[in-house]
């Protein structure tokens, strides 16, 4: 992902050899897709999932750059400022909500399905590190989350691995 000098954000896809494939910057109406991309990941279906902190939404486009959907938080929380984002083996999208004001915090981790529909809040403010900003899922399906301004990484069992 690149930020141009005029402060417009875009994603640039490259071939393995380093040749540029395409820039992803505009929707079908010519509107900018991004304001301030923080994190990016690729889903199992090839979708590109980004957290856009200033726009307060997750933006998902196809591998060819077509807009699929955006997610702006759940009504149970008064604010949404997405930061860390990752996907799991089922195509779910997990995203840190780093929303805070001087009198309210909504630190949490949201779980979306592959089509951007809200499934649940995985980690609530009581369980979440302060200012959650980084997350990943390891090969044992453990969910790791780290917070900005703290020296703690929390690990949760996320999915059960089944043996064949």
Tens of pLDDT along 115-141?
Answer: 999 999 988 777 767 778 889 999 889
Q: In this structure, what DSSP letter does residue 142 have?
A: E
Q: Which tens digits make up the pLDDT trace of 55-77?
A: 999 999 999 999 999 999 998 88
Which burial class, exposed, middle or buried, applies to 162 when counting CB atoms under 10 A from its CB (0-12, 13-18, 19+)? exposed
Question: In the predicted model, is pLDDT for residue 1 greater than 60?
Answer: no
Q: How far from each other are the two terminal CA atoms of the chain, in whole angstroms? A: 38
Question: In the predicted model, is pLDDT for residue 5 greater than 60?
Answer: no
Mean pLDDT (whole number) for 85-108: 86
Summary mean pLDDT of the chain: 87
Q: Which residues contact 134 (CB under 8 A, 6 or more apart)?
A: 83, 84, 96, 144, 145, 146
Total-model pTM:
0.87
Mean pLDDT (whole number) for 1-22: 78
Any idea which architecture 2-157 has in CATH? 6 Propeller (2.120)
* 160 vs 49: which has the higher pLDDT: 49
Q: Token digits for 1?
A: 């992902």
Q: Which tens digits make up the pLDDT trace of 29-53?
A: 999 999 999 999 999 999 999 999 9
Contact 42, 64 (CB under 8 A): no
pLDDT band with cut points at 50, 70 and 90 for residue 78? confident
């Amino acid at each position: 992902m690149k930020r141009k000098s005029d402060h417009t954000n875009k994603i640039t896809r490259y071939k393995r050899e380093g040749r540029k494939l395409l820039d992803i910057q505009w929707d079908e109406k010519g509107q900018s897709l991004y304001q301030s991309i923080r994190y990016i990941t690729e889903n199992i279906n090839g979708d590109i999932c980004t957290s856009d902190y200033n726009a307060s939404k997750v933006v998902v486009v196809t591998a060819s750059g077509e807009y699929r959907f955006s997610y702006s938080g759940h009504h149970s929380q008064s604010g949404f400022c997405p930061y860390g984002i990752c996907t799991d083996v089922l195509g779910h999208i997990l995203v840190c909500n780093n929303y805070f004001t001087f009198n309210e915090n909504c630190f949490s981790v949201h779980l979306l399905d592959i089509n951007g529909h809200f499934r649940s809040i995985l980690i609530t403010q009581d369980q979440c590190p302060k200012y959650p900003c980084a997350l990943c899922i390891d090969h044992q399906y453990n969910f790791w989350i780290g917070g900005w301004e703290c020296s703690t990484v929390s690990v949760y069992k996320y999915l059960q691995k089944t043996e064949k």
